[in-house]
Structures are given as structure tokens and as C-alpha cells.
Amino acid sequence: MIGVFRPITYQVSENDARVVVHKTCALAAQTFMLAMSNEGYDTCPMEGFDSRRVKKILNLPFGAEVNMIVSCGIRDEKGVWGDRMRVPFEEVYKRL
């Protein structure tokens, strides 16, 4: 009856909810990285890590899922492997 009076999601599987949770977590991580940049720090989102080891280190339950790891710090102007090369801002963005 509730669906008659307001929009409601029907037939949402557990997998659908899992996908939504991971996307929401990624958006939260994006906001965190922007906030860190605003404070003068650099960040790097990482995937492809050993999730079992991460869960063990953080004492997370077996069924927990790790969306990503975000490293934070202050960059070395010389870069890690050499000088950093960036595409000029003006070549990437246009003012409308």
C-alpha cells in the first residue's frame, strides 16, 4: 500500500544493495580526498590489495568488504621515480 502514495523500490536483491553501498563508499572517498586536497595533502585511491590481510590488520569481520584504501600524505616535489609530468590545466579544462 505504501507504494501507492510514494515512490518505493521493489525487488532489490542483496547484490543490488551491495553495489549501491560500494558506489556510495566510493563517493564518500572522493569527498574525503577533495577535503584532504583542500587542507594541502595529497591522496591516492588504491585497489588490487590483499583484502584478507587488510581485514586482519584492522580487525574487521570475515564478511566485511574493503572498497578501497586511500593513502594520504605530502608529495615529494621530485616525485617517487623522477620528475612529475602534468598536462597543463588549460588543456584539460575550458571555462564556459
> Cα–Cα distance between 70 and 35 in angstroms, integer?
13
**pLDDT score recorded for residue 84:** 67
pTM exceeding the 0.75 threshold for the entire prediction: no
Would you write out the chain's pLDDT as a tens digit for each of its 96 residues? 677 787 777 777 888 888 888 899 999 999 999 999 999 999 999 888 999 999 999 999 989 999 999 999 998 777 677 666 778 888 888 888
The alpha helices in the chain, defined as continuous H runs, are: 2-5, 14-38, 51-57, 89-92
> Cα–Cα distance between 57 and 48 in angstroms, integer?
16
Is residue 48 within 8 Å of residue 85, measured between CB atoms? Answer: no
Residue of 54, 48, 42 whose CA lies nearest to 80? 42
Is residue 66 within 8 Å of residue 49, measured between CB atoms? Answer: yes
